[in-house]
Chains A and B, each alone.
Chain A
Amino acid sequence: MNQSLSFSYQLAIVLVMVVIGAIAGIYLPWYALGILFGLLAYILCIPTGRAFILGLVSGFLLWAISAYWMDGQHPSSLPGRMANLFPLGGSVIGLYVVTGVLGGLTGGLWAWAGAKLRFK
């Protein structure tokens, strides 16, 4: 349970999560991200001590980068408007961060839940 993980192993987990999360995003409802991260944590036996942070980092990267990428592909005034609505004073960068945090917390919580079920 307290086994230490190498950096490259952790990096690999993040990569797997990001890829699976992206595929799920394209085909499944938004919350599939969480459930799949939970499953991954369970199957890959990610230790409970690392699961939350790995899920969080993966979810954050996936959502923040995807948001950034979507905005780049389809430049429009919409993110600026949404950043006024929320309100983030119109800061689109703030909006990427908020998006990332929501994806991160969803990923983190579910990964933690999956790990916790494995290592009762």
Chain B
Amino acid sequence: MKYIKSIFPLALAIIWTYALHNSWGTLPPLGKLMSPFHGFWVNAEAPESSELSEENLQIPGLEKTVTVVYDEMGVPHVFAKNDHDLYVAQGYLTAKDRLWQMEFQTHFAGGRISEIVGEKGMVSDQFQRRMGAVYGAEKSFEGMKEDPKATETLLAYSDGVNAYIESLTERDYPLEYKLLNYAPEKWTPIKSALFLKNMSFVLASGTDDLKMTNILRKYGKAVAEDLFPNYPFVESPIIPVGTPRDFKPVPIPESPKDFIGLGSAMKTPEKDPNIGSNNWAVSGNKTVSGLPILANDPHLTLSLPSIWYQMQLVAPGVNVYGSTMPGTPNVIVGFNKNVAWGVTNVGSDILDWYQVKFKDASKAEYWHDGKWKKTTMRIEKFNIKGKESFVDTIFFTHHGPVVYLSHEKPFKSNIPVGHALRWIAHEKSQELTTFYKLNRAANYADYAQALTYYSAPAQNFIFASNQGDIALWVNGKFPLKSYTQGKYLLDGTDPKADWTGFIPQSHNPHAKNPVRGFLSSANQSSVDPSYPYYMGWQYAPSERGRRINERLEAMSKITMDSLRGLQNDNFNIRARTLLPLLMAKLKSPAGGVYAQAANELKRWNLQNATNSQGATIFENWVSLLHDAIWSDEFAADEKAPMNSPSMDRTIKMMQEEPNAVWWDNVKTKNKKENMEEIISASFKASVDTLVKKHGPIGSEWAWYKHKQTGVRHLIPGMDALSRLNIPTGGGGTIVNATTTKTGPSWRMIVELSKEGKPRAHGVYPGGQSGNPGSAHYDDLIDTWAKGELRSLLYLDKPEDATGRLRKKIILSIKK
């Protein structure tokens, strides 16, 4: 007894220590985390002084000394003596600021989140791997290895990241490792491939085929094609109409037989209508300087740490500045002495589903082209934190992975049914080569050549050079399809439904130095219907593109600042058409708040400005109106999800089909609603919801308060590390495309110069450091929210007379 009594405090101390050393559910390991010698306290960084400080670091793997200078934004300007050292340094310095993010994003991409957060990550992990994320990354890594330069780059980058990881002890780990209680693992080149592949998930994994098939089955082809037309009624395509064609089209494959696939519920990612981008280039005859100016703002989910990391990379043969993506070498969007380039996403259809007919439950064979063919299997192992690992088998047809094995009632009870995924992201590819070459491009020919290596996700590559050229290639690998092939689910047994080839790269839509003096893209239709190939039926709504083209057409004597104004343009071009239509039909209920709201709309200057109340009323109304028109017919059945028609189609109906059957709310029995009733009722409902949410009409109805833009930490729910309720205007169909969770993730404007001294401005909603304990964690957000830009420091040598440099690091060889 006495013995037990004397041991008791020791047992208690051990249990206490064990408890504080480990994480419990979402509770972090408190001992490790709170220790002032080991925990988060160590991650705090004092703001740097304005004096230039110097530091020497030794890292293994370098061939020569590398000099790095940081400016006041925390942007590293890297001066190396060869390519190898340049990319070692890029890896090292990126990891120094963004290690956790790089690893977390590639864990996510590779379906390994459950290793960190346990079982709750499994749904996402399994989905990633079933969609072929790892398979695709392996294929693309194969492609990268075919280019020795890309291989060298990748390996050097990887060595740099690892040099940084190896320099860390546990107490130096970024904060998030301490919160989630794990340690960084060794970086490998395949992780860079995973990161790049993940961009296809972000930008090119949305799919409507199933929803469209459900519509086809319920309403028939005539209705489906009427309500979901293959080209918008109002459009301003990216490639100007009338651009001469410099190629002879190849023959189009024969159409497959009409096929009404198995409509059902299936978990596939929605197309996020707010992920898009703007870019444009204006030629010298429209600018004050007489040389082209290029602008780009890619819209992505706004996150902390930011998806972008600015760098200047200098070595013999290259001096490039721009935004990099932590996890991959090179600059992705940027400029050098002679050229500038930027990207926006292409909404072409590069993802199709094939209904697979398996021979039997073993799924070893499937029916195609009149024969039983063998499936291949891929084993994916999931190591789940705190649980036994889980092994999953993915079946592949020649199309691709069967993402979903039907657990539900199959179409015919004797045939197991699933869908195989054919997706461009599974192709072998060489995107790295493209960026390596773009970083070094000196003219249009270099740019055009660099693009020939690029597959996915397809981008509108805008370009300008100091020789005076502007150009835009809608670029990527596009399957050669028959008209509307893949709008609906396809028959996996019919070889005519297969992808039989690709549009030759040189036939990709492109334009150079158009008469109108500018080129632009905002994710709208790439081309007008006269283009000889079918690329897809549904692009982003045309509003941003139309507004940009209308402004650029009207603008002259353009400067960087006037283009900054265009990037922040809040004009609601949709409201210009739609609001008069609505107001003409509105029978507003009598009563104070409804009349006030209607008056507010009449007074509204059609700007989605930060404090606008009109914008709040309009946007909320339109969204409820769209629901009121379509959700009774198109959102009725959870088991058969459907698309609802676009606003473009809806406006057309308002203008020309006031008696269409769709106006009636089919859920109300014995009553047939007409257009006026639906419009008026949705107005009333909209005002009611706003009153309920924000109180009486007034400053609480300000657009930004309603919209609630936030830049959120990558760990969901981590509000303490996020910036919420940011005062900014804009909206999904506005050039300033800032929504609740998405928006311009990097704004850049570059004016080229004959002397090779480009002037550039840029900003992104975040900061250079991924460390929430650094002043550079979110120091650019306020500038961004105000619509301002920072001047970007483009150096020739690691010195600067303007006093903007704060820190100098000499990276030398560690023997």
Contacts and interface: CB of A to CB of B under 8 A. Distances in A.
Interface of A: 22, 25-26, 29-31, 33-34, 38, 63, 66-67, 69-71, 73-79, 81-82, 84-85, 87, 98-99, 102-103, 105-106, 109-110, 112-113, 115-117, 119-120
Contacts of A31: 17, 20-21, 31
Interface stretch (B5-13, B307-315, B450-458, B665-673): B5-13
Contacts of B45: 74, 76
A30 B21 CA distance: 9
B176 to A, nearest CB: 12
Contacts of A120: 2-3, 6
Main secondary structure of the interface of B (DSSP, over half): helix
Looking at A26, A66, A67, which has the most chain B CB atoms within 10 Å of its CB?
A67
Given A29-B38, A105-B16, A82 B720 contact: yes
B12 A103 contact: no
Contact of B17 (A69, A79, A106, A116): A106
9 contacts: A30-B35, A31-B21, A34-B13, A70-B42, A70-B44, A85-B718, A99-B35, A99-B36, A112-B13
A81 B38 contact: no
A110 B13 CA distance: 5
Interface of B: 2-3, 5-10, 12-13, 16-17, 20-21, 30-32, 34-47, 170, 175, 718-721, 772-775, 777
A113 B37 contact: no
Contacts of A84: 719-720
9 pairs of A and B residues whose beta carbons are closest in the complex: A25-B37, A78-B773, A66-B36, A85-B720, A113-B10, A30-B35, A74-B44, A113-B9, A84-B720
Nearest to A83: B720
Majority-rule SS of A interface residues: helix
Contacts of A115: 9
A30 B39 contact: yes
Given A25-B37, A38-B13, A103-B35, A76 B44 contact: yes
B770 to A, nearest CB: 13
> Which of B9, B32, B170 neighbours the largest number of chain A CB atoms within 10 Å of its CB?
B9
B44 A71 contact: yes
A120 to B, nearest CB: 4
A91 to B, nearest CB: 13
A86 to B, nearest CB: 8
A30 B38 contact: yes
A104 B39 CA distance: 16
B775 A76 contact: yes
A102 B31 contact: yes
A31 to B, nearest CB: 5
B46 A25 contact: no
B13 A26 contact: no
Residue among B13, B46, B175 facing the most chain A CB atoms (10 A cut-off): B13
B10 A117 contact: yes
Given A74-B45, A84-B719, A84-B720, A117 B6 contact: yes
Contacts of B718: 85
Nearest to A109: B13
Nearest to B721: A81
Nearest to A27: B37
Contacts of B170: 29
Contact of B16 (A69, A109, A119): A109
Interface centre among A73, A76, A98, A110 (most CB of B within 10 A): A76
B20 A78 contact: no
A63 B35 contact: yes
Contacts of B175: 78
A79 B41 contact: yes
Nearest to B14: A113
A103 to B, nearest CB: 7
Given A25-B35, A106-B17, A113-B9, 20 more contacts: A29-B38, A33-B35, A34-B17, A70-B41, A71-B44, A75-B44, A75-B46, A76-B45, A76-B775, A77-B773, A78-B43, A78-B773, A79-B44, A82-B40, A98-B34, A99-B34, A102-B20, A105-B16, A106-B31, A113-B13
Contacts of B2: 120
A70 B47 CA distance: 14
Contacts of B777: 77
Given A30-B32, A102-B34, A106-B31, A76 B39 contact: no
